Chains A and B, each alone.
Chain A
Amino acid sequence: EAGVAQSPRYKIIEKRQSVAFWCNPISGHATLYWYQQILGQGPKLLIQFQNNGVVDDSQLPKDRFSAERLKGVDSTLKIQPAKLEDSAVYLCASSLGSVLTGTSGPLSYNEQFFGPGTRLTVL
């Protein structure tokens, strides 16, 4: 089974430039996540899609970050304009599970499968 694909693997840009990352999740996975992982820290969820709808983007800096999930499959994450503090690894993950909207009911998150990440350096 093919894993989560991400590209590019590395990107170096100057501050105030724009950059886009691409993710192709595992076939059939309904849920797609974008995480930001700063060196020495755990991943921080930026945005979560359920099929092609946004479920949670509460930690996405919407003044500069945007994301979309095309036809409920591939996804792109864009930063415009980039800042020095955006230097990090951007991880994409996918899972079969659907997301709860309430606090009761069946468990929501299935196992998340992560891609290799895109290492972004902003100079």
Chain B
Amino acid sequence: EDQVTQSPEALRLQEGESSSLNCSYTVSGLRGLFWYRQDPGKGPEFLFTLYSAGEEKEKERLKATLTKKESFLHITAPKPEDSATYLCAVQYPTQGAQKLVFGQGTRLTINP
């Protein structure tokens, strides 16, 4: 079953056009939700960790928020260099261990 779903799959914006990416999850006992940025041909780069509903974190033009069912990555006045695939991952306990499951990513393109 799908435990982590990201939407939209792809998003094309004009420079300066703000928007949000969504990461919804169905796991029980969330221990952490992570956002990563991945550029073509590179490994994911860590952005944020959120631990509890209501938490928010910001970095430059990005702000991540968390509810009990989903997380949003808000992008304010994006620039072309913000173009990348944004991945979310959730950490949860299962069978006596911790699991980390990634979503499929949102491919973001910012046109100048």
Contacts and interface: CB of A to CB of B under 8 A. Distances in A.
Nearest to B97: A56
A91 B102 CA distance: 13
**Of A55, A100, A109, A116, most B-chain CB atoms within 10 Å:** A109
How large, as a class, is the contact surface on chain B? 20 to 34
A43 B91 contact: no
Contact of B41 (A42, A111, A116): A116
Nearest to B48: A111
B102 A43 contact: yes
B32 A109 contact: yes
A83 B60 CA distance: 43
Interface residues of A, number: 26
Contacts, number: 66
Interface in B81-103: 87, 89, 91, 93, 96-103
B42 A117 contact: yes
Given A42-B103, A100-B93, A114 B87 contact: no
Contacts of B43: 4, 91, 93, 114-117
13 contacts: A41-B105, A43-B44, A44-B102, A91-B43, A99-B97, A100-B98, A107-B32, A108-B31, A108-B91, A111-B49, A112-B34, A117-B42, A117-B43
| Top-3 shortest CB links A-B | A114-B43, A42-B102, A103-B93
Interface of A: 4, 40-45, 55-56, 91, 93, 99-103, 107-109, 111-117
